[in-house]
Structure 1
Amino acid sequence: MLAKGQTVIQLMEELAPKHYAQPNDSIGLQLGTLQKEIRKVLVALDVTHEVVDEAIREGAELIIAHHAIIFRPIAHLRTDTPAGSLYAKLIKHDIAVYIAHTNLDVAEGGVNDLLAEALGLTGLTHLEEVHTEKLKKLVVFVPKDHHGKVQQAVFGAGAGWIGKYSNCSFNIEGQGTFVPRDGADPFIGEAGKLEQVEEIRLETIVPETVEKRVVTAMLKAHPYEEVAYDLYPMDLKGRAFGLGRVGKLPDSCTLGELAERVKQAFGVSALRLVGDPEREIRKVAVLGGSGGRYIRHALFAGADVLITGDVDYHAAHDALAAGLAVIDPGHNVEKIMKPGVADFLNRRFQEKKWETVAVASSVDTEVFRFV
């Protein structure tokens, strides 16, 4: 059985919810339709003619990319322009394009976590916090003999986390009353008669990102035809999410040695270095994309070096003067998201027993060449 396009995107947004994105970021479905079955998903960093040709060869009906193909409103759609000819090729071959950009940068398991993991960084924190998860309190009344089933269903769907503790709940025994009326099909009791049932009031925490999933799981596990439950908004803050990562290397090394590690980990042949190659490095800040404006953030976090792309001349001087080393391996290192996203989607497809597959694009979209 193949997954529908909208279903594929629902899985993608489990990894990178759209509300994680920065304001005015160009994300989401940018071209085509999701109202079709998807046999193959091509995961790419950029959508170029070469990438589209690859999608055609692979038989992919959907491209999930990091960088947008549409940045601003289109005044006209001419197929004799570079962008217009790209759109025309996608439309002709019925290939949809979905973009996950800063929401994938922020996401746990997204671009910045993948970069940090490739370098072996530990004790990760955010370079800049941009989003705090909202929480709700779920209260549901369950007959005693079904309490365990409902409890495990909501935990399995993502409820019950407080910090690093899972399966958190509070449970109170009590007595529920109801009268089934005409047309009801009660699990317990008879129509027209007052029923008194030993029930448990189950309370637990639900992050907003999994609210629908938790409620659906709760309703499915609950035996009652009409389930009595409440969802209360809470002022208590949940997990924090942010751009970039700051962490420690397993062992300190020189800046020059770290530069070589970066080249190997991120698959680049050359990079730019700011600072003394013999300087000792232990704490590292990493940020996918263009991160020159995060020099102050890296300094505030106590990092010895900032690894990011597209650092300009004046920003590099500012970093050097402030005592922060910089390694610039280029913007294209975000290509690490290709196998990362493809692996995530394939795990979810297998869990759902769908025959849809995701593949990482093999096209090199790096535009700079060192000569």
Structure 2
Amino acid sequence: MSFSLNDVTRVIHDLWPLSGASAWDAPGLVTGRGTDPITSIHLAVDAVSLTVDEAIDLDADLLFVHHPLLLRGVVTVAEDTYKGALLARLIRARCALLAAHTNADVVVDGVSDIFATRLGLENARPIEQGDVPATGIGRVGRLAEPTTLGALARRLAALLPATASGVRVSGDYGDPISTVALCGGAGDSLLRHPLVTSADVYITSDLRHHPASEAREQAGLSTGPALIDVSHWASEWLWLDTAAAQLRAALPGVTVTVSEIRTDPWDFVVMQ
């Protein structure tokens, strides 16, 4: 069985419908000719120089990423800009580029759902419910057995691929943890959500100083979660294996590979 880029795009949008994307998002096909045949797909979180080179070296027909390369307004794709250079290399290599971003965050077996499953949360449900049952942003559930904040942080460190920033924690090491809220990727917009404030801990990425500080101060006044900040890339990388398996099932005969290149932007830390 053979598949064109149009066929593969339809499959991807069936698995991760564009209707689930946030209004500000820009998922979908970035470059590629719809009639071109697709025999190989390479998955990565980010379209950066290393993953583009990897896809071209693998002779992939499609680089399928989580983060859209053209999310913000662009007025030029000249090759002396990094985005223009990436697109030019992909086009010359006849490698299409397609992204599934927030539309892959909200679905069953999407980014946050897989994160929750891998962490062992039971009866996990969305923090913000989507239009379709069981879909939405983030997840909240209970651990099969209660643990401590420190032990949970160590479990996360073992689960996630290693990064320079590691796992940062706000809370006492021995705090009891049963209910966990999480959001793969940047999730500080959910810090005040009732399902987050009522959880024992909230796990997400890119927590900024003031929102994190205010959330912890509020917790000291009443109730509120401990906070665990993990690498944005690492929390979303977990989804790629599941996405690859879904594509292999839907596109028999197509080779689907997953990048293990760390595209987290930080390379090392210096401890004081």
Q: TM-score, normalised by structure 2?
A: 0.91
- Name the one with the larger strand percent: 1
- 1:77 Cα deviation (Å)? 2.5
1:294 to 190, 198, 209: 190
| Counterpart contact for 2:181–2:195, Cα < 8 Å | no
2:229 to 325, 328, 331: 328
Distance in 2, Cα, partners of 1:82 & 1:97: 15
| Counterpart contact for 1:15–1:109, Cα < 8 Å | no
Distance in 1, Cα, partners of 2:94 & 2:208: 40
| Counterpart contact for 2:49–2:86, Cα < 8 Å | yes
Match of 2:160 in 1: 266
SS at match of 2:207: coil
Match of 2:241 in 1: 339
| 2:264 is the alignment partner of 1:366 | yes
| Counterpart contact for 1:15–1:108, Cα < 8 Å | no
| 2:18 is the alignment partner of 1:18 | yes
Distance in 1, Cα, partners of 2:173 & 2:215: 15
Residues 178-211 of structure 1, C-alpha deviations (whole Å, 9 max, x = no match): xxxxxxxxxxxxxxxxxxxxxxxxxxxxxxxxxx
Match of 1:114 in 2: 114
Residues 288-326 of structure 1, C-alpha deviations (whole Å, 9 max, x = no match): 111112111255562110100000111111221223101
Structure 1: unaligned runs, 5 residues or longer: 134-238
Aligned pair in 2 of structure 1 residues 86, 37: CA closer, same or farther (>3 Å)? same
- 1:241 Cα deviation (Å)? 2.1
2:173 to 265, 277, 286: 277
Higher mean Cα deviation, 50-59 or 3-12?
3-12
Moved over 6 A (4+): none
Specify the code of the residue in structure 2 equivalent to 1:128.
E
Aligned pair in 2 of structure 1 residues 34, 99: CA closer, same or farther (>3 Å)? same
Specify the code of the residue in structure 2 equivalent to 1:23.
A
Residues 318-362 of structure 1, C-alpha deviations (whole Å, 9 max, x = no match): 22122310110121121112212111111222xxxx321211112
Specify the code of the residue in structure 2 equivalent to 1:340.
T
| 2:206 is the alignment partner of 1:305 | no
Structure 2: unaligned runs, 5 residues or longer: none
SS at match of 2:238: helix
Aligned length: 261
Specify the code of the residue in structure 1 equivalent to 2:159.
A
Match of 1:355 in 2: 253
* CA radius of gyration, larger in: 1
| 2:35 is the alignment partner of 1:27 | no
| Counterpart contact for 1:45–1:66, Cα < 8 Å | yes
Identity across aligned pairs (percent)? 35
| Counterpart contact for 1:45–1:337, Cα < 8 Å | no
Distance in 1, Cα, partners of 2:184 & 2:194: 14
| Counterpart contact for 1:45–1:67, Cα < 8 Å | yes
Specify the code of the residue in structure 1 equivalent to 2:142.
K
1:250 to 140, 144, 156: 144
Distance in 2, Cα, partners of 1:107 & 1:33: 27
SS at match of 2:126: strand
Distance in 2, Cα, partners of 1:298 & 1:316: 16
| 2:5 is the alignment partner of 1:9 | no
Match of 1:132 in 2: 131
Higher mean Cα deviation, 66-75 or 310-319?
66-75
- 1:243 Cα deviation (Å)? 0.2
Distance in 2, Cα, partners of 1:299 & 1:124: 12
Match of 1:86 in 2: 86
